[in-house]
């Protein structure tokens, strides 16, 4: 069964450093998402991406965050200068179509720890 | 922003018992989804609901989209040990008419099953 894959599974970084989280969405999917989950809390929407541009973003997704689809297969989330409160599980998701009856598949997540 | 209130926060039940959890919101949602999350994994879709009043089953799981479009419940019948995990409701709001269609997640219900 096709799946969304994320790398690395765990990233530890020093405060102030830049990190790039990588995702390979399911190959024929058109809509891509990043969500995050702070430990023990609910999943929160960060950003959605379609047709090579951001289509929606939340208040969390400030100037420190950016997304890119550099090569037609990868979908990346960059955090320019990490803060302690950026520590969370980051989930990538992809969706084939924007239609009722088709929902996004989530990856297994990248655990980001900022120290 | 839109908020989903999910209850109960946790449940500890005996194997074989039925389980019920629900989500409510002050906002209308066009879509209600129920996910399960195992430790260290991403959310996995269990049931998707697209019409007010819709009642849908997936094996031992049954979920309903409330008539008011502001609530949904998930029932699990005859629970088994592998039902252990965190269950999240998620809604897609009526006002999100763009291609992104972010999901708003509830706080989760942690289910523990005693064999």
Contact between A45 and B102 using a beta-carbon 8 Å cutoff: yes
Instruction: For A55-109, give the DSSP string.
Output: EEE-TT--TTEEEE--SSS-EEEEESS--GGG-EEEEEEEES-SSTT--PEE---
Residue B97: pLDDT over 80: no
Interchain contact A44–B (C-beta under 8 A): yes
What's the confidence (pLDDT) of residue B1? Answer: 65
Residue B8: which pLDDT band, with cuts at 50, 70 and 90?
A: very high
Contact between B102 and A103 using a beta-carbon 8 Å cutoff: no
Q: What confidence tens digit (pLDDT) does each residue in B10-60 have?
A: 999 999 999 999 999 988 998 999 999 998 889 999 999 999 999 999 999
Contact between A91 and B43 using a beta-carbon 8 Å cutoff: yes
Taking the alpha carbons at both ends of chain B, their separation in whole angstroms is: 40
Contact between A55 and B108 using a beta-carbon 8 Å cutoff: no
Q: CB–CB of A4/A23 below 8 Å?
A: yes
What's the confidence (pLDDT) of residue A99? Answer: 61
| Interface mutation vs chain B, best among A43, A67, A75, A89, most B CBs within 10 Å | A43
Residue in chain B closest to A59 (alpha carbons) equals B1
- The pLDDT of A85-112, averaged and rounded, is 89
| Interface mutation vs chain A, best among B2, B100, B103, most A CBs within 10 Å | B100
Residue B106: pLDDT over 80: yes
What is the overall mean pLDDT for chain A? 93
Alpha-carbon dihedral angle through residues B19, B78, B46, A107, given to the nearest 10 degrees: 90
Residue A101: which pLDDT band, with cuts at 50, 70 and 90?
A: low
CB < 8 Å to A100, chain B: 31, 50
| Interface mutation vs chain A, best among B101, B104, B109, most A CBs within 10 Å | B101
What's the confidence (pLDDT) of residue B99? Answer: 43
What's the confidence (pLDDT) of residue B94? Answer: 62
Residue B91: which pLDDT band, with cuts at 50, 70 and 90?
A: very high
CA distance B7 to B70: 14
CA distance B35 to B72: 13
């Amino acid at each position: 069964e096709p799946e969304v894959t994320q790398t690395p599974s765990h990233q530890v970084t020093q405060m102030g450093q830049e990190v790039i989280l990588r995702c390979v969405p399911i190959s024929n999917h058109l809509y891509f998402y990043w969500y995050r989950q702070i430990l023990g809390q609910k999943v929160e929407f960060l950003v959605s991406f379609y047709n090579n541009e951001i289509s929606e973003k939340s208040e969390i997704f400030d100037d420190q965050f950016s997304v890119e689809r550099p090569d037609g297969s990868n979908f990346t989330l960059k955090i320019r200068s990490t803060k302690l409160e950026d520590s969370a599980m980051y989930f990538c998701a992809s969706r084939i179509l924007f239609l009722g009856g088709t929902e996004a598949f989530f990856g297994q997540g990248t655990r980001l720890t900022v120290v | 922003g839109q908020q989903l209130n999910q209850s109960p926060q946790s449940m500890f039940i005996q194997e074989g018992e039925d389980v019920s959890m629900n989500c409510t919101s002050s906002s209308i949602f066009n879509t209600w989804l129920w996910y399960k999350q195992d430790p260290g994994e991403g959310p996995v879709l269990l049931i998707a609901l697209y019409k007010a009043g819709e009642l849908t089953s997936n094996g031992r799981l049954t979920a309903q989209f409330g008539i008011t479009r502001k609530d949904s419940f998930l029932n699990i019948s005859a629970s088994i040990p592998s039902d252990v995990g965190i269950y999240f409701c998620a809604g897609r709001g009526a006002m999100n008419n763009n291609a992104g269609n972010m999901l708003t997640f509830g706080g989760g219900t942690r289910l523990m099953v005693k064999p």
